[in-house]
Amino acid sequence: MLLRRSLIVCSLVFGLTQIAVHAQDQPPPPADLVKYVRDARNAGVEDPQIERNAVKAGWAAAAVTDAMTYAATPKEVARQQPVAKAALAEIPPATVPPAAQTPPVPVSPEQSPATVPTDKTDQPESAGAPTTPPATGPVKPEVIDRGVPDDYEIGAGDVLSISVWREPEASVGGVVVRPDGKISMPLLKGISVAGLTPTEAEKFITEKLVKLIKVPDVTVVVTGISSKKIYAVGALRKEGPIPYTYKMNVMQAISEAGGLTDYAKRKKIYILRSQGGREYRLPFDYDAAMKGEHMELNHQMLPGDTLVVPH
């Protein structure tokens, strides 16, 4: 008697196992059909009537059968197993076949085989998840403001700030270019930078530091300009030296000096320039330039030039 009951229970469990495996191997039935079956059951309609109505509505009989199984609620699944559970309770554990000891886990109605949670190691990483740890520490800016135009040539009296990336002990701030055109740094002495642009000075200093620092990254910023000036005298609102920070023309130099006074002789303005030991006088007509005439006389100023505006 006990053996017969065991065989019956094994057959029942095996049948339930095959149903669950078949449900996992087959693609889920149409979602609208599953919803129809669930709504009808919630409304109290019996399964035979639901099946007949679904076939009349145009769904295939096989699809309706799959949907009836797929849409089974946990309570309905539980009602199919009380006989098996009661029989298993009366059989000693040693005589229970292996298949009966590990009953299949029913799939939730809201989960299809494709959405059943798996182990975290099998799940693909989120597209937005970082693949590398975030960088720490300060980040060097992509665009560097060196304080002057790219073609500016460093001269005696200029003040430089020289930083070596992630090497603060090798950096220096506020160093003045000496009259001989040289500067000194913590690891380097007597570096000649006069006549070089900031970019050229960076390359030159990098070549010197490469023997002391692995892959040095040097940035040179001109924080003070004293080597290049033009001079403005006469009927101007602001006389005196003007830092030559860019290639300015005569009109721009007048603007840097605050403009002309009411007593300026606008047509008698000129530039004094010394080149090769000789003095040159370059005339400029302010009124004509304001009209867009004789623009060839709007000369480019050079360091050391003197802008003269007669009264």
Q: Where exactly are the structural domains of the chain?
A: 2-112, 159-224, 229-309
Which of 250, 243, 249, 257 has its CA nearest to residue 147? 243
User: Hey, what amino acid is at 39?
Assistant: D
Give the whole-angstrom CA distance, residue 256 versus residue 245: 11
The answer to whether 248 and 240 have CB atoms below 8 angstroms apart is no
> Does pLDDT of 229 surpass 80?
yes
Q: Could you tell me which of 60, 63, 64 has the C-alpha nearest to residue 50?
A: 64
Cβ burial, residue 160 (10 Å; 0-12/13-18/19+):
buried
Contact 223, 174 (CB under 8 A): yes
State yes or no: pLDDT of 95 exceeds 50: no
Instruction: Pick left, alpha or beta for residue 234 (phi over 0 → left; psi -120 to 50 → alpha; otherwise beta).
Output: left
* pLDDT for the residue 115: 45
Which of 106-120, 247-261, 271-285 shows the lowest mean pLDDT across its residues? 106-120
Q: What is the dihedral of CA 23, 26, 31, 33, to 10 degrees?
A: -80
Torsion angle, CA of 186/187/189/191, rounded to 10 degrees?
-100
- 256-293 confidence digits (pLDDT tens): 999 999 999 999 999 999 988 899 999 999 999 999 99
User: In this model, does residue 119 exceed pLDDT 60?
Assistant: no
Residue range 231-255: average pLDDT? Answer: 94
CATH assignment, 229-309: 3.10.560.10
- Per DSSP, the three-state class of 86 is helix
Q: Could you tell me if 220 and 277 are in contact, meaning their C-beta atoms sit under 8 angstroms apart?
A: no
Report how far residue 147's alpha carbon sits from residue 201's, in angstroms, rounded to the nearest whole number.
Answer: 14
Assign 61 to helix, strand or coil: helix
- Looking at domain 159-224, does it have CATH number 3.40.50.1220? no
User: In residues, how long is the chain?
Assistant: 311
Q: Are strands 229-234 and 306-309 parallel, antiparallel or unpaired?
A: parallel
The tens digit of pLDDT for each residue in 183-225 reads: 999 999 999 999 999 999 999 999 999 999 999 999 999 999 8
pLDDT in tens, 9-48: 556 656 555 555 554 556 777 887 888 888 877 777 788 8
Residue 116 reports pLDDT greater than 80 = no
What mean pLDDT is predicted for residues 169-175? 94
Give the predicted TM-score (pTM) of the model: 0.45
pLDDT value, residue 18: 57
pLDDT in the model for residue 14: 60
Write the pLDDT tens digit of every residue in 124-159: 444 444 444 444 445 556 678 888 888 889 999 999
CA distance 262 to 272: 22
What is the model's pLDDT at position 26?
61
DSSP letters spanning 175-222: EEPPTTSEE--SS---EE-TT--HHHHHHHHHHHHTTTSSS--EEEEE
Confidence class for position 226, pLDDT limits 50, 70, 90: confident
